[in-house]
Amino acid sequence: MTGVLTVILTVLKVVGIVLAVILGLLLVLILLILFAPIKYEVKGYKAGEDIDALAKVRWLTPLLRADVVYKKKPGEDAYFDYWVKVFWKKVYPTEDEEEEETEEPSAEKKTGKKKKEDAKPAIETKETTDYSKWDLKEEKDELSEYLDETGDREKTAIPDKSDKTSKSADSEKYTDHDTADDTDTESGKKEKVPLKDKISQAIARIKEKLTAIKEKILSLKKDGEARYKWVKERKDFLTKDENIAAISKILNEVLKILIHCAPRKGGAVIDLGFEDASATGKAVGAYSFLYPHIGKVIVLNADFEKSVMDAKGDLEGRIVVFFILCRAAVLGLDKNVRRFIKEVQRYV
């Protein structure tokens, strides 16, 4: 019995150690995901149509890396590429996918060449007629005989014009006589409409038009009332004290997340201008709102005279998942925010 118990205890001990190791590894992985920062770097420039940009994302370098490249030169096609690597092994896109992408254009080119080669013999095998072998005298004699035969046939087929004209004259007389009788009978049956009836018919038509206009006005009034009701409901919803508090809470937390994700190293200069000067002013206003947090890193040069959008810089920053989850938890635990989200879903 003691031997069996010792075996069972050793098995349980081993299982416990394995479970503890697995739980420890999961705990370490969760802590790494939550607290290990995700670093990013963006560098490049844009001057008119000349664009050159590179974006890098690193997590537990060199464990996970992702790069994105975009280049565009004036008068040339844009170049875009991306890849994801784990250690030094490319995991996306795979080599098979890259081979398929490279094979598709080559296959199209091959098929195009084949079609062109097939089309060439059709042009080369076109037959040409030799007009020098024709005998013009024989053709002329045959044509004259054919015209003589067709002329005889037409003569036999055409009836006498005198008979036709006499018959048409008789038929016209008969039809004129019939139409005259018909008009006489119709004029005898037709009665004049009195003036009173004409006035009553005109009044009826005016009444119909007025009723149609009235219905149109009533429908527009109903639509206007419905729209006014829709606007008033949403205005009342947004002006509630609880909803105002929820909106301000959401904006504050979102602003904290943006400040956390904003670049901390490097610098960038942006030349920005729109055709409408008011749009440029709005962009400057938005930048001034964020200036206390990003003004040392990003510089905005506004141009109110012409439309321009050029930039040059090298920015670096980091993102911690735990911080974003904490901000989301703060919003989720707020009663006003939860109520606000439910009411927004109802209105949407």
Read off the pLDDT of residues 66-95 as tens digits, 9 standing for 90 and up.
999 999 998 889 999 999 999 888 888 877
So where are the chain's domains? Answer: 38-104, 194-239, 241-347
CB 293 within 8 A of CB 262: yes
Of the candidate ranges 54-63, 168-177, 314-323, the one whose mean pLDDT is the lowest: 168-177
Rounded CA-CA distance 23/191 in Å is: 107
The model's confidence at residue 170, banded by pLDDT at 50, 70 and 90, is very low
Examine the pLDDT at 165 and tell me if it is beyond 80.
no
Report in angstroms the alpha-carbon separations of 70 from 44, 45, 156, 182, 233: 9, 11, 87, 88, 47
Give the range with max mean pLDDT: 147-151, 166-170, 325-329, 343-347: 325-329
Tell me the β-bridge partners of 317.
Answer: 40
Give Cα 30 to chain centroid, integer Å. 39
Report in angstroms the alpha-carbon separations of 289 from 110, 259, 273, 277: 58, 12, 18, 19
The label of the residue with tokens 């019939």 reads 178
Give the range with max mean pLDDT: 122-126, 168-172, 174-178, 337-341: 337-341
Report in angstroms the alpha-carbon separations of 2 from 8, 152, 175: 10, 135, 134
**What is the DSSP track for 262-321?**
S--EEEEEEEEE-SSHHHHHHHHHHHHHHHHHHTTTEEEEE-SSS-EEEEEEEEEEEE-H
Q: Where are the beta strands (DSSP E) in the chain?
A: 38-47, 50-59, 64-72, 79-86, 89-92, 265-273, 298-302, 308-319
CB 263 within 8 A of CB 39: no
Rounded CA-CA distance 151/308 in Å is: 83
Q: Shortest CA distance to 37 belongs to which of 56, 54, 61?
A: 61
Hey, what amino acid is at 298?
Answer: I
Rounded CA-CA distance 24/17 in Å is: 10
The model's confidence at residue 191, banded by pLDDT at 50, 70 and 90, is low
